[in-house]
A and B are shown apart, each in its own frame.
Chain A
Amino acid sequence: MPSLINQTNSLENTWQTISDYNEALPEGNILVAAQYWLDNQVALCERGNVSIIISGDTDLDALGAHLNKFEVIAVSFPAFADGRGYSQARLLKERYNYQGEIRAIGDVLLDQLHFMKRCGFDTFDLKDGLEAEKALQFFDTFSDPYQLAYDVKTPLFRRKA
């Protein structure tokens, strides 16, 4: 069972990820691929309780005005070494002014949590087998970073002054 955390606690996961679009959509909160949402906007808006999953190559401009409709945007890491999600998260929050929750899903491991937090991720759907309790220790690996990011809005040289 994968476990969901934010930066301080374990959470209950109320969102179900859809991977098979041929079957009827289940009840409750669902996460669908951004492209599927774009293709089925009207129906999905009617249904409600829908949020999206974006990947490294999702064009955020195409979603532009819709972004703040979503309670959650899940950014997927197909492999932890695929670092596009870091830029996508920062763009969502810093460029598109997305106000909701950004969730890391996929190959979400412990040693990357600190970087994810810095780029604006709020919640983390840990890969199978990883313990929430242990993971919570990984957010504060570094206390005072050099460069600005989403979490710390100015570089060290401005903060030191």
Chain B
Amino acid sequence: MYIYDNYDQRIVDERVAQFKNQTERYLAGELSEEQFLPLRLQNGLYVQRYAPMLRVAVPYGLLSSEQVRKLAHIARTYDKGYAHISTRTNVQFNWPELKDVPEILAELATVQMHAIQTSGNCIRNTTTDQFAGVTPNELLDARPYCEIIRQWSTFHPEFAFLPRKFKIAVNSHITDDRAATMLHDIGIKIVKNDSGEIGFAVYVGGGLGRTPIVASLVKEFLPEKDLLTYLDAVLRVYNLNGRRDNKYKARIKILVKALGVEAFAEKVDAEWQHLKDGPGTLTQEEIDRIKGHFTAPNYETLDASCEILNKQLSENKAFSNWYQRNVSEHKINGYAIVTLTLKKLGTPPGDITDKQLDVVADLADRYSFGEVRNTHEQNIVLADVKQDQLFELWQEAKAGGFATPNLGLLTDMICCPGGDFCALANAKSIPVAEALQAKFDDLDYLHDLGEIDLNISGCMNACGHHHIGHIGVLGVDKKGEEFYQVSLGGDSGPDATIGKILGPSFAREQMPEVIGKVLDIYVDLRIDGERFIDTYRRVGHSIFKERVYAKSN
């Protein structure tokens, strides 16, 4: 992973000093609430319903075991003993005291961590495939490019006060997209052109929120060295032209729509002509230097098929269930990718206790070269586990409470904090997730249903990505009461699609039954091996609508 040099460390240390000074001035009354707001936001500090929330950056989700232990320590010392993995692969603390935040940041800086630009109207944490670098079907490892973008965007003086927040994702997988790339302000797909050169297909203007839109292609092939000058051009066009009069119309997606993709692309290109081949152009040495931080660990030479593992799988049904769901193929023979799930009945999705964090750090040290990755589905990945150690790891993970074999299944939901924590909520979301987890707790049934993304947001800001769930649930306010709107057919993959609303909303008590009906319709209509989303696409929306709202008689 990327290790700071003196320059990187100094920037983070200077930030700690800066924020300490800002907090002191705020507490002394020298900075008004309004003036302090964007400063604390750019440092990941929200004020929400009950306490501030501190969002710590985890660039592209990657953490060392030492960093995980530091997070555990912070959860224990400054919070109520737990942390939360966010859908941008960051880590959030829900209960720190404002006066402690400078101290927390100082602690984070000792393990090369920070909260820079984790909120506010600036360029946020760049995300990518959580399996980058270890998955068999990728063009190349996307993480070095994410790191290049991280450095470029950190305290970019021109883009600290954009019309709205700005999110970039990079994907390098040939057939899959685990980073919801097409739903970002900028989605970058790493590609090769006909002459075999590496470059990027650049998509702009995706996003969720009130106006969910899939990003449009603005540059088919951007040469590798031009990455940053082109990003500068896109951001400059946005900074100058994005709307600032209405925060719901301020994202770049609205600008792209208003100008039209072609006109937008032309504007960017015109700007880029001035920057292209200038000093911002990447050098091969820099690309190589950054790539040098993401080299393969010391893999052993192993056989592709592992006898011990095969024996354990045939002897233990529970282990084999877990293996099928939570273990993914690795590009190196004899290794596997393990996803530890944080979705368990009774715990809000993405929450993890300080003790669990310590366990994760230990597991990483013993089984996976001391590194872990957060995923945007709010789970944790051990990317380099030897196949013959899977059984042992499984037993320990089970004891730690993160081996629910439900990865990708219905109960592996994305759920925002909702009305329990968030001041903007129309409705609570966690109790809905819990009710669904309680109703659908039969693993055989869940496995039979197969892959389904169920996403829940407590309001149309869409933090829970409800638009791109195969099944989406949105909290709405109906005359002061909490109701839930269901949408179907959303997808975050390469064929990203925004889900379609099913019809009138439902009361909270009805939700398990309604989702049950949707699932029954799928089971009834599916053809062998078809996933929920495939059946939905084949049979169409209306049949679901008719049957869900049919009067029972």
> Which residue numbers of A lie inside 8 Å of B, CB to CB?
56, 80-84, 86-88, 90, 95, 109, 111-112, 114-116, 118-119, 141-149, 153-158, 160-161
Contact = CB atoms under 8 A, between A and B. Distances in A.
Given A86-B161, A144-B7, A146-B11, A157 B289 contact: yes
B110 interface: no
A142 B160 contact: no
A34 B440 CA distance: 65
Contacts of B285: 157, 161
A119 B18 contact: no
Contacts of B280: 147-148, 155
DSSP class of B's interface residues: helix, strand, loop or mixed?
helix
Given A144-B7, A146-B11, A115 B152 contact: no
29 contacts: A81-B38, A83-B161, A83-B162, A83-B239, A86-B158, A86-B161, A86-B239, A87-B158, A88-B240, A95-B274, A111-B39, A112-B160, A114-B157, A115-B155, A115-B157, A115-B158, A118-B157, A119-B158, A141-B18, A142-B11, A144-B11, A145-B11, A146-B155, A149-B157, A149-B158, A155-B228, A157-B282, A157-B283, A161-B283
Q: How large is the interface on B (under 10, 10 to 19, 20 to 34, 35 or more residues)?
A: 35 or more
A109 B38 CA distance: 12
Interface of B: 7, 10-11, 14-15, 18, 22, 35, 38-39, 121, 151-152, 154-163, 228, 236, 239-240, 244, 274, 279-280, 282-283, 285-286, 289
B11 A82 contact: no
Nearest to B37: A81
A112 B286 CA distance: 30
A147 B232 CA distance: 10
Given A147-B152, A157-B289, A86 B160 contact: yes
Contacts of A144: 7, 10-11
A84 B286 CA distance: 30
A111 B285 CA distance: 34
A126 B18 CA distance: 20
Nearest to B25: A110
- 9 A-B pairs with least C-beta separation: A83-B161, A118-B157, A157-B286, A115-B157, A146-B151, A86-B158, A154-B279, A87-B239, A142-B14
Contacts of B39: 111
A148 to B, nearest CB: 6
Given A83-B239, A147-B156, A147-B280, 17 more contacts: A56-B240, A80-B35, A81-B38, A81-B121, A82-B161, A82-B244, A87-B236, A87-B239, A111-B22, A112-B161, A115-B155, A115-B157, A141-B14, A142-B15, A145-B11, A146-B11, A149-B158
Contacts of B159: 83, 86
Contacts of A119: 157-158
Among A87, A115, A157, find the residue whose CB has the most chain B CB atoms closer than 10 A. A157
A14 to B, nearest CB: 28
Contacts of A147: 151-152, 156-157, 228, 280
A144 B282 CA distance: 18
A154 to B, nearest CB: 5
A82 B247 CA distance: 12
Contacts of A56: 240, 244
A80 B31 CA distance: 13
Among B158, B159, B160, B240, find the residue whose CB has the most chain A CB atoms closer than 10 A. B158
Contacts of A81: 38, 121, 161
B157 A145 contact: yes
A95 B270 CA distance: 13
Contacts of B7: 144, 156, 160
Contact of B155 (A87, A90, A145, A155): A145
